[in-house]
Amino acid sequence: MGMQDGDIERAIEAVRAEQGDRLLILGHHYQADAVVRHADERGDSLELARKAAAHPEAERIVFCGVRFMAESADILTGAGQTVYMPETAAGCPMADMATAEAMEAAWARLQVHADAWLPVVYVNSSAAVKAVCGRLGGSACTSSNASAVFRRALDGGHRVFFLPDEHLGRNTAAALGVPEDETAVYDPGRADGGVEPAALARARVVVWKGFCHVHTAFTEARIRAVRRERPNARIIVHPETPRAAARLADARGSTSQIIRYVEEAPDGSEIVIGTERNLVERLAAEQRGRVTIVPLTPSLCSDMARTSESSLLEVLRDWPESREVHVPEAIARDARLSLERMLAAG
Ligand code: 13P
Ligand code: SF4
């Protein structure tokens, strides 16, 4: 007979108690409740990168999230630390929309019209893409600090080449007051990225044509409908939401910024949230009776949902080599430059 849920929970807690500080379990906010309840640290992608770097005593780090996050943890940790994923197939379709080769081709294309470009890569990218960025003097960012990283580049007289999320790039540029006609989209599927020479010459920000399917589910039509259905509600969306819809919301924020927005809301308020379903449902349950939380549209990240309590226990019990995450040092060395510049940016 298989283990019951309660048995799995107790077995995980027994390993945690036995391992103490040698074990660090990190859980992203988009993970299911049954998984994140076992995490030592719960956070958004920026907070979890910081936590991974801040625990040199942890010999084993188990990352409940998706691959690019576990890779970043491996890059930011020392030689005596091993990072594991309960589900190694948990990837990010958006991260897969940019390869290092395509990025290098785009970079060469940009140089034709101006030499003041600086690459900024979203952490939702492969280690190889982060390595190219690091070699070119650029920085990584997350949705929490994209504005700070963009501002520093623009204030330094640079033009920003951002990949792979078109929408975070556009929303960040707009928040910093960059006019729409100074933001261009580079489509890696088209010759020369499909950017007209005049548009490229004018551009202060060029964004890659990638997207997150979880957040493109949030549409202008849905926001307008919610405004009619719930005239008193405030609407907040994650900045991976397409610009046309995101601009109609009352606020835009990363996962942690959304949580803070909810926590700071007055009693009795109503908030509609456009981000991944596990987080929205958890906030709704936590706030029940104080703040009414409603999903803009229920939208699940199926990669985040791969990790289960039983796959977490399998790692903790057997430490299978197949679930270790290792970024080759030749790539890690340059990718680390991108991540360290990001952590230094705030
Ligand atoms: P943050 O955790 O940075 O808000 O990003 C959300 C996300 O899409 C993670 O994959
Ligand atoms: Fe990738 Fe979107 Fe899932 Fe985040 S929510 S891991 S960006 S697919």
Q: What percent of the chain has pLDDT over 70?
A: 99
Question: What per-residue confidence (pLDDT) applies to 3?
Answer: 81
Mutate to test the pocket of ligand 1, among 67, 96, 215, 238 (most ligand atoms within 8 A of CB): 238
Contacts of 70 (CB under 8 A, 6+ apart): 63, 83, 84, 85, 325
Bigger pLDDT: 84 or 112? Answer: 84
CB 278 within 8 A of CB 300: yes
Task: Average the pLDDT over 96-124 and give the result.
Answer: 92
User: pTM for the whole thing?
Assistant: 0.96
Q: Is the CB of 304 under 6 A from ligand 2?
A: yes
Average pLDDT of every residue of the chain:
96
Q: Does domain 5-91+304-328 have CATH number 3.40.50.10800?
A: yes
- 95-211 and 220-295 share one fold: yes
Class of residue 93 by CB neighbours under 10 A (exposed 0-12, middle 13-18, buried 19+): middle
Inform me whether the pLDDT recorded for 17 exceeds 80: yes
Superfamily of domain 220-295: NadA-like (3.40.50.10800)
What whole-number distance in Å separates Cα of residue 68 and Cα of residue 83? 12
Give the other-Cβ count within 10 Å of 288's Cβ: 10
Question: What per-residue confidence (pLDDT) applies to 114?
Answer: 65
One-letter amino acid at 112 equals V
Question: What per-residue confidence (pLDDT) applies to 84?
Answer: 98
For 227-242, b where at least 16 C-beta lie within 10 A, e where not — what string?
eeeeeebbbbbbbbbb
Pairing of strands 82-84, 60-64: parallel
Q: Give 71 Cα–ligand 1 centroid separation in angstroms.
A: 15
Give the other-Cβ count within 10 Å of 31's Cβ: 30
CB 255 within 8 A of CB 279: yes
Confidence of residue 4 (pLDDT cuts 50, 70, 90): confident
Q: Is the CB of 168 under 6 A from ligand 2?
A: no
Question: What per-residue confidence (pLDDT) applies to 323?
Answer: 98
Q: Give 295 Cα–ligand 2 centroid separation in angstroms.
A: 17
Q: Is the CB of 276 under 6 A from ligand 2?
A: yes
Q: Give the number of residues written for the chain.
A: 346
Closest atom, ligand 2, to C-alpha of 276: 5
Q: Give 183 Cα–ligand 2 centroid separation in angstroms.
A: 24
Q: Would you kindly state where each structural domain of the chain is located, as residue ranges?
A: 5-91+304-328, 95-211, 220-295
Q: Is the CB of 301 under 6 A from ligand 2?
A: yes
What whole-number distance in Å separates Cα of residue 32 and Cα of residue 305? 7
Q: What would you report as the CA-atom Rg of the chain, rounded to the nearest whole angstrom?
A: 20
For 160-193, b where at least 16 C-beta lie within 10 A, e where not — what string?
bbbbbbbbbbbbbbbebebeeeebbbbebeeeeb
Residue whose structure tokens are 């261009």: 184
Bigger pLDDT: 112 or 140? Answer: 140
Ligand 1 shell residues, CB under 6 Å: 44-46, 92, 124, 142-144, 212, 240, 254-255
Question: What per-residue confidence (pLDDT) applies to 137?
Answer: 96
Question: What per-residue confidence (pLDDT) applies to 217?
Answer: 98
Question: What per-residue confidence (pLDDT) applies to 346?
Answer: 72
User: What is the residue-wise DSSP string for 48-89?
Assistant: HHHHHHT-TT-SEEEEES-HHHHHHHHHHS-TT-EEE-S-TT
Pairing of strands 270-274, 234-237: parallel
Q: Which tokens belong to 340? A: 């360290």
* Tens digits of residue pLDDT in 212-270: 999 999 999 999 999 999 999 999 999 999 999 999 999 999 999 999 999 999 999 99
Give the right CATH number for 95-211 from 3.40.920.10, 3.40.50.620, 3.40.50.10800, 3.40.50.720.
Answer: 3.40.50.10800
Q: Which tokens belong to 279? A: 């987080």
* Tens digits of residue pLDDT in 149-186: 999 999 999 999 999 999 999 999 999 999 999 999 99
Q: Is the CB of 12 under 6 A from ligand 2?
A: no
Phi, then psi, of 207 in degrees rounded to 5: -115, 145
Contacts of 340 (CB under 8 A, 6+ apart): none
Question: What per-residue confidence (pLDDT) applies to 113?
Answer: 62
**Lowest mean pLDDT, pick from 109-123, 190-204, 331-345:** 109-123
Inform me whether the pLDDT recorded for 1 exceeds 60: no
Q: Which residue has the least CA distance to atom 7 on ligand 1?
A: 45
